[in-house]
Structure 1
Amino acid sequence: MMLTDNDVPAWWRRLGLPGLIDLHTHFLPERMLRRVWAHFDEIKPLIGHEWPIQYRDDQQSRLATMRRLGVRRFTALSYAHRPGMAASLTDFSLGLAAENADCVPSATFYPEEGVLEQVQSALDRGARVFKIHAQIGAFDLREPLLDPVWGLLADAGIPVVIHVGSGPVSRPGITGPDKLAGVLARHPLLTAVVAHLGAPEYGEFLDLAERYPWVHLDTTMAFTDFFERLAPFDPALLSRLADLPDRVVLGTDFPNIPYPYAHQLESLERLRDREPRLDDDWLRAVCWYNGLRLIGE
C-alpha cells in the first residue's frame, strides 16, 4: 500500500522514534521562494519532465505541515547565487529559528569579501548548520576566499550541507566530487553533508565518505520514483551505503518536491528489498539518530 502523508506519524512510531529529523528543508524569504518555484516551473527543457511543487503554500502552512508529519527538527536552508545575498539570507534563517524552536538555526555563505566574518557572526548567533549550493552559486568550493571558512567550520564541528553533485544539471568546472575532495584534502575533519547522496556521482561521493570520517550523505530525493528517472542509483552501490549506517541522514528538499513527503520515506524503506541491511535499524539511524548527533538536541 502506498504511504501517504497522513500515514507518516504511524510510520515513525512503528520504528519506535519520537519523530523525524530532516536536515535538508528550505524556508526562504517569500520573494526568493517564489523565484525558486518559478525556476522549477520552467525546468522541463533541462531535465526532460515537469517538476510540480507539491507544497506551494504560505510559510505558516508549511511549518504546520512539518509539525503534522512529526518532523521534530528541520532546517531553513538558503543559498546565495551572487555576492551580497548571504548575510541577509542568514539573518532570515536565524530569525525563523528564533521564532520556532523546532527549526535548526541555519546559515549560508558565499565566496566574497568579508565571508569569514559573516560565518563567524552566524556561529556567534547560534548557527548549527550551513548550506551552500555550488551549482546555483556558480563557484568552486576550492575558492581561496573559502579556505579559512572551511577551517573555521571544521574546527567548530558544524555540519555544512553542500550541493556539489552534478545533478540535476551539470556545471563543468563547478560541480563534481573533485571539488569537495580538494576541500577535504586541506580540511579532513570538515563535517560535510553531501546533498542528494551526491547525485549522479554516487560512487565517487561514497569514496569520500569512506575516506573521511566526518563526511555524511543526505537522502534528499534519492531513490524516489522521480529521481530514479533523473539520476538512478546503481544497485551495486547499496552494500557500500549499508556499510556507512552512521553517515546517512534524512533530507527531503521540502517544500520543493514533486511528490508527497511520505514518498521519500517509502522509497527509503523499500531499499531493504534489495539490500537487507538497510533495515529498520538503518531507518532509525537515518531518520533520527544520525541527524541528532550532528545538530544536537
Structure 2
Amino acid sequence: MPTAGLVDTHVHLLPDRLAQAIRRVFRDMGMDRFAYPLDPADVLRQHVADGFSTVWTLPYAHQPGMAARLNADVAALARMVTTDRTLVVPGMTVHPADDDPAADVEAGHDGGARVLKLHCSVGRYTPDDPRLAGALSVAGERNVPVVVHAGHAVSGRTDADELEALSTACARHPDTTFVIAHCAQPATARSLELLARHANAMADLTPVVVDLVDLDPAQLEAHHDRLLLGTDAPNTAVPARRVLDWLDDAGLSADARAAITGGNARRLVPDVTGPPYTSR
C-alpha cells in the first residue's frame, strides 16, 4: 500500500449493472443530488485531486447466491481501475443464507480481497447472526477487518439499540477487527461506548447521505487511533472535500489527523501485494 496520501476506507466502486441499480434505489428514495458520477474512473480522478492515494471498495449482497460472484467481479474491477496514482483495495461480502459464508471469505481473500463488508439492512440480518460465525472467525484468522453497517433504516441511519448485536459479535470474535460504518450515525455516543467496551472495535467517519458524523473535535482527538476516514462515494451528497474540511476545522493534532486519514487504515490492511494490485 502507498505510504503517502489519504486513504478512503468506505467507497462503493461496483460493477456497472449493480451500481446503476443501487443508484436507482437512492433516486427512488427521493435523492436528487450526488457528489459523484457512477463511473469509477471519474470517482478516482476526483479522489486523486483531493489527495487520496488508496480506496477500499466495499460490495454488499442483498440476497443469497450472489456474494461469491460479486466478490470476484469486484476484485477484477479493482485490478482494472488501480493505477500508479490510486490503489483500489477490493472488499468482499457474504450473506448468512448462503451455504458456506466462511468458504466465501476464504475464496475472496485468496482472490485479493482484504476487507469484509456486512450491510445489515440490505441483507436483512444482524452481525451476531450465528450463520456468520464461521465467516467472522476466518476474517480474524486472516486479519481481514469487517466493516459493518449495523442499522436497518432505509435512510442509512442506525439506532443505538441496533449496536448491541455488533457488540455481541465483537465479544464472540475478539481476534476479529470490526469497523462501525458511519460511526452508527446518529448513535455516535453509543458507538464510542462500544469502542471503550471492545478493543477490537473501530469506527469510520463516513457521512450518511447528506449528514456528517456527529462527533466533536475533542471526541475525534480522543479516539483518533480507532477512527477511519470514509466518504461513501459515489452515492452521497457530501463530497470528500467537505469531510476533509471538517477534519481540518476540528483543529486536530498532526498525529491524530495522520492516523484518521491514513495511518489507521494502513495498519489494518498492510498486505496488498500480488496480482490483484498490479497497476496500469
TM bucket by the smaller chain?
Answer: 0.7 to 0.9
| Displacement over 6 Å in runs of 4+ | none
Give, as a single letter, the amino acid of the residue that structure 2 aligns with 1:227: D
Flag structure 2 segments of 5+ consecutive residues without an equivalent. 273-280
State the Cα deviation string for residues 40-96 of structure 1 (Å, max 9, x = none): 11224xxxxx45112124233223333333321111211011111111110111112
Mapping of 1:149-228 within 5 angstroms? Answer: 149-165=135-151, 168-169=155-156, 176-221=162-207, 226-227=210-211
Matched, 1:71 2:45: no
User: 1:255 is matched with which residue: 229, 234, 255?
Assistant: 234
Matched, 1:125 2:111: yes
Q: 1:43–1:51: 8 Å Cα contact kept in structure 2?
A: no
Number of matched residues?
263
Q: 2:182–2:206: 8 Å Cα contact kept in structure 1?
A: yes
Mapping of 1:24-63 within 5 angstroms? Answer: 24-44=10-30, 50=31, 52-63=33-44
Give, as a single letter, the amino acid of the residue that structure 2 aligns with 1:178: E
**Pairwise CA distance, 1:33:** 0.8
Q: 1:206–1:241: 8 Å Cα contact kept in structure 2?
A: no
Q: Equivalents in 1 of 2:41, 2:108: separation in Å?
A: 24
Residue aligning to 2:222: 243
Give, as a single letter, the amino acid of the residue that structure 2 aligns with 1:56: P
Q: Which has the larger radius of gyration?
A: 1
Structure 1 SS opposite 2:190: helix
Q: Equivalents in 1 of 2:24, 2:78: separation in Å?
A: 26
Q: Equivalents in 2 of 1:92, 1:65: separation in Å?
A: 23
Give, as a single letter, the amino acid of the residue that structure 2 aligns with 1:290: N
RMSD: 2.4
Q: Equivalents in 2 of 1:179, 1:113: separation in Å?
A: 22
User: 1:91 is matched with which residue: 35, 52, 72?
Assistant: 72
Q: Equivalents in 2 of 1:169, 1:71: separation in Å?
A: 25
Q: 1:57 to 1:248 in 2, by over 3 A?
A: same
Structure 2 SS opposite 1:293: helix
Flag structure 1 segments of 5+ consecutive residues without an equivalent. 1-16, 45-49, 273-277
